[in-house]
Structure formats: structure tokens, C-alpha cells
Structure 1
Amino acid sequence: MTESRENLIHNHEDLEVYQIAFDTAMKIFEVSKSFPKAETYSLTDQIRRSSRSVCANLAEAWRRRRYKGSFLLRLNDAEAEAAESQVWLKFAVKCQYLEIQTGRQLYSQYNQILGMIVKITKNADKWLLKKT
């Protein structure tokens, strides 16, 4: 991590990728309120869980920057949960629980999130805490 980043990012909530993931998870929560009751314990729970898990894994990754392997593992988990959220979004659109345009917008936000996670992963050493 560069010195300028250290001055700007004090915790996981300062990460742009976290902020976008959190906002997207909240949008999914809002739109999933209208999903049918029959989907409560399947699609609704799954999409809410995976979208929130992206944020949780980013927070964990941030706190595991002492160890590259742990850091990368959590980033990998965040990436996997973002991709899973995209799958659930496609199901929601195909089942006509979600308008196509809304689904495309949310799916696109996950493409952005995935790109950001991959970029951090490729530059992991810059993000690790320096050993003293």
C-alpha cells in the first residue's frame, strides 16, 4: 500500500469497492422485498446472503492484510460471492421477479466490483501491511 493510500484508507469502509458492494447489496435488499413469498427461503435469502457476503469478505480481507494468503483467500471469497450474486440476479430476471433493466444495472455493478477485486488481487503486495 502506498503512503497516500494509507492516509486515505483507514478501514474497509473507506474502500471504494466496499462502498459500491454495500450500496449494491442494499439495492438488492430493496428490490427483493417484492419477490414472492414462495421465494423467501430460496432466491430471496440466497441473493441477500451472497450480496452481503461480498461486503463481509472485503472487511475480513482488510483485517487479514498481515498475511498474504489469508488476504487473498478472503478476496477470492468476495469475488466468488459477487459472481454468485450475478447468478441469482439472472434467476430473478428470468423468473420475472426483477425488471430486465434493473437486473442489468445490478449485474453491471457486480462486473465493476469483480474488476476492482481482481485489480486488488493482482496488486496484493501493495495492500499488505508492512512487517516492522
Structure 2
Amino acid sequence: MNRAHKKLDVWRESVALATYIYKVTEKFPGAEIYGLTSQIRRAVVSISSNIAEGAARFSSKEFGQFLNVAGGSLSELDTQIEIAFNLAFLTDEEKKEIDNRIDAISAKLAGLIKHTRKKAAEK
């Protein structure tokens, strides 16, 4: 296993976001453990997991498909964070921190998707 994903900034940042999200969601109401807490955690873990799985593929086209799934999970997370904030499960500071991290990951993911599309088109 070459673990190419560990060389990607976007993967490292998405793992850091997942770690932060797990800590923040620990204080969510207990009634949400199988609801919003679970959905948020699943979505945030899916981001780095799909980047890693795609990086292990042998074609740029396949990698790009997994990056698109990671982007979808990032959008899911963004929506779920908005709901959690509206329900007062997150502070203003936590929301801002998460939003900043989502924006940074989104930009890096978009750049990597563009790069893999270009690489796939060259073949």
C-alpha cells in the first residue's frame, strides 16, 4: 500500500476537520446521538475516506469520481452544520471555525478535481 492520500493537503485537512467535528459534537444533546450527531460524523468521515479511496485507484478518472463523492459529503456536512447552528448546538465561534475549514477544503478539493480531470483527458 503506497498511502498516496497522506501526501495530499486536502486529505490532512479533512482528517483534522473530522477530529474537530467529533470533539464539537460530543456536547450535542444525547437525543441527537442517532440523529444529527451521527449524520454529521458520517458525512465528515466520508470526506477523507473518499479522498483516500480515490487516491488508491489506478486511474485519474476513478480518482476524480471519488473526489466528487467527497465534495458531495462536504456539502452534506455544510448543510448539517447549518441545521446544528440553527438549533443552537454550536457556538458562533465553532460555526465560524467549521465554515472556514469547509471553505478551505472545498477550494483544495476543487483544484484537485480540476487537476485529475485534466490528467484524465491527457490519456
- TM-score higher than 0.5: yes
The amino acid of 2:85's aligned partner reads V
Change (3 A) 1:126 1:69: closer
Residue 80 in structure 1 maps to residue 39 in structure 2: no
1:12-62 Cα deviation digits (max 9, x unpaired): 112111111000110000010000011111100000000000010000110
- Whole-Å separation in 2 of the counterparts to 1:93 and 1:100: 8
Q: Which amino acid aligns with 1:107?
A: D
2: distance between equivalents of 1:49 and 1:74? Answer: 16
Q: 2: CA distance between counterparts of 1:83 and 1:125?
A: 20
Deviation for aligned residue 1:68 = 2.8
Between the aligned partners of 2:3 and 2:118, the Cα distance in structure 1 is: 15
Name the structure 2 match of 1:33: 26
Q: Which residue does the alignment assign to 1:4?
A: none
Letter in 1 for 2:70: A
- Poorly superposed stretches of 4+, deviation over 6 Å: none
Match of 1:46 among 31, 39, 42: 39
Change (3 A) 1:91 1:125: closer
Unaligned ranges ≥5, structure 1:
1-8
Match status 1:21 vs 2:14: yes
2:52 is matched by which residue type in structure 1? A
| Match status 1:59 vs 2:52 | yes
Which 5+ residue runs of structure 2 have no aligned equivalent?
none
**1:82 positional shift:** 0.9
Q: Are residue 103 (structure 1) and residue 107 (structure 2) matched?
A: no
Q: 1:56 to 1:127 in 2, by over 3 A?
A: farther
Structure 1 residues 39 and 10: alpha-carbon distance in aligned structure 2, compared to 1, 3 A threshold: closer
Partner of 1:116: 108
Alignment RMSD (CA, Å): 1.9
Percentage identity across aligned positions?
Answer: 28
Give 3-state SS (helix, strand or coil) of 1:123's partner.
helix
Return the alpha-carbon distance in structure 2 between the equivalents of residues 56 and 80 of structure 1: 13
Distance 2:10 2:40 in 1: 19
The one-letter code sitting in structure 1 at the alignment partner of 2:116 is A
Deviation at 1:80, TM superposition (A): 0.6
